[in-house]
Amino acid sequence: MKGVFTMIDLDLLFEPSSIAVIGASVNPNKWGNMILSNIINGEYTGRLYPVNPKEDNISGVPTFHNLKDIPGGIDVGIVATPRSALLHVIEECGEKGVKFAVVITAGYGETGEEGKISEREILKLASRSGIRIVGPNCMGIFGAKAKLVGLMPPIIPKKGGISFISQSGNIGVQILLSGSSQGIGFNRFVSPQKSEIFGMPR
């Protein structure tokens, strides 16, 4: 599971048949709510599983208290939990057989040496579990074919033929906004933030 992604990997990331939003929230000011709302409003074509230990329903979608309760497999887990919970979440993802973890959670390598140590722990655990990590501190993903709008900002990009990766999440989102407003459509987008994790050279 090491090294750069193959095209098969990328198809599964951008065209998953099932997604869990781990850290989904009823609070409209939290990323877990914003991402879930974008996925719902984008009319994602696959199975959607919000995960929150205290909620049974968020935004009209049945919600699970943990990953183990979800029936069937999960291709992609979008993680928007507090940093303190992330190791446990990655461990649960491994037990569930989640293929990709798109980690929105911040506070790792970008914060200094302590954050880098924590990040290495996350990556080691993910590697042992066979999970591909996109992030941490990721802005999210977009895949037009599956109508997947797994993004943090409230934006539904226009669908088209352009695919791109942006190291800067803010610049990437501005490109999506500007392009969509000018009639330019997009096929795939990801802001991996930690480019070496995504298998890209700096």
Q: Which of 191, 193, 190 is nearest to 14 (CA)?
A: 190
User: Domain limits at 97?
Assistant: 7-154
pLDDT score at 202: 41
CB 20 within 8 A of CB 70: yes
Based on the structure, what is the number of domains in the chain?
A: 1
One digit per residue, pLDDT tens: the chain, 202 residues?
445 556 667 899 999 999 999 999 999 999 999 999 999 999 999 999 999 999 999 999 999 999 999 999 999 999 999 888 888 999 999 999 999 999 987 655 555 566 666 677 877 888 888 888 888 888 899 999 999 999 988 889 999 999 998 878 788 889 998 998 899 999 999 988 654 445 554 4
Q: Do residues 39 and 104 touch, judged by C-beta distance below 8 A?
A: no
Does any domain span residue 183?
Answer: no
Query: Residue 61 maps to which CATH number?
Result: 3.40.50.720
* This prediction's pTM: 0.88
Q: What CA–CA distance (Å, rounded) separates 59 from 40?
A: 9
Query: CA-to-CA distance for 70 and 19, rounded, in angstroms?
Result: 11
Q: What is the pLDDT of residue 131?
A: 87
Position 99 in a domain = yes
Neighbours of 8 (CB within 10 A): 8
List CB contacts of 78: < 8 A, sequence separation 6 or more. 19, 20, 21, 22, 35, 102, 104, 140, 141, 150
Tell me, yes or no, whether 201 lies in a domain: no
C-alpha–C-alpha distance, residues 95 and 86, integer Å: 14
187 within some domain: no
pLDDT value at residue 1: 43
**How big is the CA angle at 175 (ends 171 and 176), to the nearest 5 degrees?**
120
Q: Considering the domain boundaries, does residue 105 fall inside one?
A: yes
